[in-house]
Amino acid sequence: MSELRHMCWTKATRREAGEPRHSVAWAASRRAWFKVFDDRIECGDWTIAPASVLEAVLFETRQWFIPMFVLQLSTEDATYQFGFNPWCRVANHLFFDVDRQRVKMRYSPFSLALRIAVGLLLAYLLLQRFG
């Protein structure tokens, strides 16, 4: 039986790759425990063997003023992204090298349109109430 090295809560998706961004993939992402064992990583029903990881990148970014981390694991079959809170130091517990990159959080077209629509709705409601 393999020993559990680390466990923390995460949001995870297989529908994004590259630098992290706000998108519909993250809105509908999996919420689960990210578990690092001696011989594998588990997140829900996903199991990733260390030998299958072709590239591991830890993106360091900010959401507003709050630091956050997105770990991207690329295998032959899929690209996984896992979003972590600032207190989750997952890279310290992994059994392979991780490339670290500082990036700015980007927005997908869907995310931008949604933010504009919400802003316009709030402006309309404020004008109706106080205008």
**Token couple for 59:** 């993106």
Q: Could you read off the pLDDT of 65-88 as tens digits, one per residue?
A: 889 999 999 999 999 999 999 899
Instruction: Please state, in angstroms and rounded to a whole number, the distance separating the CA atoms of residues 87 and 61.
Output: 14
pLDDT of 116 strictly over 80:
yes
Give 72 or 2, the one with higher predicted confidence.
72
> In the structure, what pLDDT confidence band is assigned to residue 12 with cuts at 50, 70 and 90?
very high
In the prediction, which pLDDT does 110 show? 76
Which H or E element spans position 117? Answer: helix 109-130
Instruction: Please state, in angstroms and rounded to a whole number, the distance separating the CA atoms of residues 37 and 1.
Output: 10
pLDDT of 51 strictly over 90:
yes
